[in-house]
Chain A
Amino acid sequence: MTAHMKMDEPDRRNRLDAMVQGIVGTPMDRPDGPKKVTGTATYAHDGQPAGVLYGVLVRATTARGTLDDLGATEVKALPGVRGVFHGKRFLRNPAQGTAGKAPVQGSADIYYFGQPVALVVAETFEQARHGAQTILLKISAGDAETDPDRVKPETPAKKQSEVGDLDAAMASAAFAVDRTYSTPGHNSAAMEPHAAIAQWTDGAVTVHASCQMLRFNVKELADSLGVAESKVHLLSPFIGGGFGSKLGISPETVAAALAARELGAPVAVALSRPQVFEATMRRSETEQRIRLAAGQDGRLTGIGHEVLVSNLPDEEFSEPVTQATPFLYRGENRVIGHNIARVNRTCAGSVRAPGEAVGVTMLEVAMDELATAAGIDPVELRRRNIPETVPTKDTPFSSHMLEAALDDGAKAFGWADRPKPHTATDGEWLLGCGMSSAARVNMIMQSAARVTLNPDGSAVIETDMTDIGTGSYAILTQIAAEMLGLSPDRVEARLGDSSFPKASGSGGSVGAASSGSSVFLACEAIRETLATTLGVSEADLTLKDGHAIAGNTRKALPEILAGEPITAEGEIEPGKTAKAVKQATYGAFFAEVGVNRVTGEVRVRRMHGSFAAGRILNKKTARSQCLGGMTFGIGMALTEELVHDLRDGHIVNHNLAEYHIPVNADVPQLTVNLLEERDPWASPIQAKGIGELGICGAGAAILNAIFDASGVRVRDLPATLDRILPGLPDV
C-alpha cells in the first residue's frame, strides 16, 4: 500500500491538530538519547569487524601539479603495510550535495594543497599512519592560482539580474549605504571526522559511513567505484554532525571501498582533523558590495547585492550569497551580481545555510548602517521594509512571520529599554545591543518512508532518512505516535540504512518537513485501513493510547489487527506550491555584547532569537537547532576564519586549536522563542525547516551590538581584536 502526495495545493486540513495523542510538538526527549549518552550509538568508525585493516590518506603538498610517482616502494616493505592505493577512481574532492554522481576523480592531477592522492593500508592504525608519513610523493608542480582577488572571475549570465534603475535610486535617495563587506572561508568542523568502514561480499560492498543524504550517496559511491547501485549498501544510523560537510560522498569512503575490494578484507579509513579541513568542503570566502537606497521614512527604494566567491575549476556549486536578498525587503530598483573566481583551494561547498549564513548577515549589517544614517530604530526600519509580495513580482508569500518575530524578540529581549548607543559601561567594558532579521528559503524534497503497525499494536518506521543531530529519530517517532494513537515508546524509528525507502536526507533544512510528511502519509494510509475494518470513515476514527474509537465502540489495536500487521509506504514530492508562493522561514536576533576598551575583546553577554518555521514538531530539538545556529553566528562574527597561505593556498589553521569555533565559555545562556505557525503551502504537516534559520543573520546582531557599544563598525569578518582596537576611543 502506497500513499503518494505531490505538493500541488496547500494542505489546510491540519490533520495533525485533529489527533488526540498529544505528542507532536511536545518537548519529548530524544529516543536515541540513552544510546548517545552511554557511548553505545554506533558512528561510522565504531562497528569495527574482525580482521579490519586501517587506512590513512596521504595528501598532496602542492596547489597544482601532477603526481608522477608514489614513491611507495619502501613504504610497502614496512611491517604490517598491506598496500598503497591511488588511481583514477580516487576522488579529487567530495561530491556536492544532491549530485547523485561521482565528483571529479583521479589522483594524478592535483588541484589543491591537501588533495588526498594515496591511501596506505596496514594491519594497525599506527603502521598505516607511519607509512603515510614516510611516503615520498614525486610531484611535478604546475601553475596555480590561489588568490581569488587576482583572478578574472566568471560572471554567469543566469546568476545576474537587474530591475529598475538602482543607480538613479541611489542618487536620489534621502539615505543611502554603499559598502563592501567581506567574510572569510568557514569549515563545518563537525565533531566526528569523516570516516568509513567498507567490506565486500560477492561483488557487493557494505559501507558504514558518515553520510547525510543516503539516496544520493549510494549513487555517488556506485558511480565512483564503477559498480551498479544495487551493489552498494550504505549504513549511517548515527552521524557525528554534518552541517553540509557530509552531503556528498567523500574521498575516504571511496578509498576505503577501493582498498577493501583489492585486499579482500574490511578497511576502515577516518580523516584526520587537518584532513577534514583540507579535503572536505569549505564555505567560500565572500566579498559583498551592498547598496541600499531609502527615502526619508527609511523605506527602501533600491537594493544592490553583488558578490565574489570562489571554487575549484569544474565545480558547479558557488556560495549562493544573495539567496534571500530578492525577497527579504522592499525596493523597486534591484541589482543582483554573482562572480566566481576559480582558484586552487580546497573545494567550496555547503556549510550550514549556504547563502543566507553569510549573505543575510552582511545585509543585516548594512541595514544597521542605514538605520544609523536615517536615525530610525533598527527594528522599526525592518518593520517598514517588509514587502507585501515578492518585490517587483506579484508572487505572494505562503506566510510571513518577520514582523511577528521582530516584535516577539524585541519584547523578550527588552529592546525598548536598552541604553542609548555608546553610553553604557561596566568597568573597562563598553556595552551595547544589536539586532538583525533572520530569513531562510524553505522547500521540501522527495521523501519516502514505510510504517508497519504490528499485530501487538507497536509500530516501526523504516526510511533511509538520517539524523545528524537534528532530531529525526524524535520527530518521526512523534508523528507516527500521534497519527496512530500510540505512546512514543511503542514506536521504533529505524533510520540511516540505504535498503529502506528513500528519503530526502538531511540538508538544506528539508529533512523534518519532507521525511515527516512521508511518515504522516504512511500513517494516514494505515488509519484508512483501520477505519475500513471498523466500517467508519478515517475522519471519524480516533486513535489514542493503543485503542481505536469509532462511534460507540472502543477496541484495542491488537484486537482489530487480529494477528495481521498493516504496512504502508508514504511518499511526498514537491509540486506547484514550490513556485506558486514564496516560502521562507523568518526570525529575529537580539544580542548584548561587551567590548573591552583596553584589549578590544568582545564577549557576548546575552543573545535571544525568536523564530517561525511552521509547525514545530518537537520544542526541545527545534530549540536546540536554534541554539546551534546562533552559536555558529557567534563563531562567524567573532572568531571563525580559514586562513590560506597565498603561496600555495594551503589552510594554515587546519585544526581546532587554530580555527576557533565557540567553546562553552564563549556562549551565554541563549534564549529562544518558537512562534506558533502553520504553513499549509509547505507540507501536509504544515512544518518548515529550522536547522539553518538560527545562523541566517545571527552574526549581524553581534556586529551591530559592537557598533552600538563602541562606535566601531566591523565590515570584514571576523571581528577580531586587530579590527576593533584602532577604532576604540582612547583610554
Chain B
Amino acid sequence: MQTTLTINGEDHRLDADSRTSLLDALRNHLGLTGTKKGCDHGQCGSCTVIVNGRRINSCLTLACMHDGDEITTIEGIGTPGHLSPLQAAFVRHDGFQCGYCTPGQICSATAMLEEVRAGWPSNITDDLTAGVSLTDAEISERMSGNLCRCAAYPNIVDAIRDVADAAMQEAAE
C-alpha cells in the first residue's frame, strides 16, 4: 500500500503491507530505529511520536492511516551534537538509565509542554478555567503514559521542570 509520510520535515514514500503499524513502518521500513517498541499494545509509551502536533503511541495506529501527516520522531528533535533543551536536561539530570524508554519520554514531554502552553488541563488540574501551573504532580500525571522500569521518574520530573521554568522565564522577559 502506498503512503506518503512527512517525517521530520522530509517526505517518505512507503510501500508496505496495510497491517504495518506506524511504529513498524518507522523501524523496519524507513530505518528510523530511534522510536522503540516496548509492548506493541499502547501500554508503555516507548513508541511515542508526535503526529500533527499531538503525541501518540505509534504502535496503536497503522502507517497507512497517516498519508500526508506531519510526523516528528526522536531523530527530528535533536542530534548528539545539537541536543534540544529537553534532551540536554535529560542528560544533565540523568533522566534515564538504560535509555530505552527515553526517545518516547522526550517526544512525550516535548508535546506535553505544548499542551500546557495551550492551557490543557490534566486529570488532576483543580481549576479547569485558570491557567495550568506545572507542579511536580502535574508533570508526573502528564508523563504517566511513559513507563520507565529503571525508574528515573524523579529525574525526568526535574529535567522537564528545568526546561519549563526556563521557557516561562523567557516568556516573562
Contacts and interface: CB of A to CB of B under 8 A. Distances in A.
Interface of A: 29-30, 32-43, 45-48, 54, 124-127, 130, 188-193, 238-243, 270, 272-273, 468-471, 620-621, 623-625, 627-628, 630-632, 655-657, 661-670
Given A48-B33, A273-B43, A669-B157, A243 B149 contact: yes
Interface in B61-100: 73-75, 77-81, 83, 87-88, 90-92, 94, 96-100
Contacts of A33: 90-91, 94, 96
A469 B102 contact: no
Given A620-B94, A655-B43, A38 B78 contact: yes
B155 interface: yes
B156 A624 contact: no
A254 to B, nearest CB: 21
Contact of A32 (B46, B99, B139, B156): B99
Nearest to A54: B28
B20 interface: yes
A187 to B, nearest CB: 10
B105 to A, nearest CB: 9
Interface string B140-160: 110111111111111111000
B144 A124 contact: no
Given A126-B20, A241-B149, 11 more contacts: A29-B94, A38-B103, A39-B74, A42-B33, A48-B28, A48-B31, A126-B19, A469-B99, A631-B151, A657-B41, A667-B154
Main secondary structure of the interface of A (DSSP, over half): loop
Given A54-B28, A192-B36, A126 B17 contact: yes
B165 interface: no
Contacts of A243: 149
Nearest to B91: A33
A325 B11 CA distance: 62
A667 B16 CA distance: 41
Q: Lowest 7 CB-CB distances: which A-B pairs, in order?
A: A39-B34, A240-B100, A36-B99, A469-B98, A469-B97, A631-B151, A39-B74
Given A189-B149, A191-B98, A627-B155, A664 B87 contact: no
Interface residues of B, number: 65
Given A34-B80, A45-B37, A627 B141 contact: no
Contacts of A620: 94
A672 to B, nearest CB: 9
22 contacts: A30-B94, A38-B78, A38-B79, A38-B80, A39-B74, A40-B34, A47-B33, A189-B149, A191-B46, A240-B99, A273-B44, A468-B98, A469-B96, A624-B155, A627-B153, A655-B39, A656-B43, A657-B41, A664-B153, A665-B141, A667-B154, A669-B157
A665 B98 contact: no
Interface of B: 16-17, 19-20, 24, 27-28, 31-41, 43-44, 46, 73-75, 77-81, 83, 87-88, 90-92, 94, 96-103, 106, 136-137, 139-141, 143-157
A42 B36 CA distance: 11
A632 B98 contact: no
A37 B149 contact: no
Nearest to A268: B28
Nearest to B78: A38
A84 to B, nearest CB: 19
A239 B97 CA distance: 10
Given A38-B74, A468-B98, A190 B103 contact: no
A38 B152 contact: no
A41 B143 CA distance: 23
Contacts of A631: 151, 153
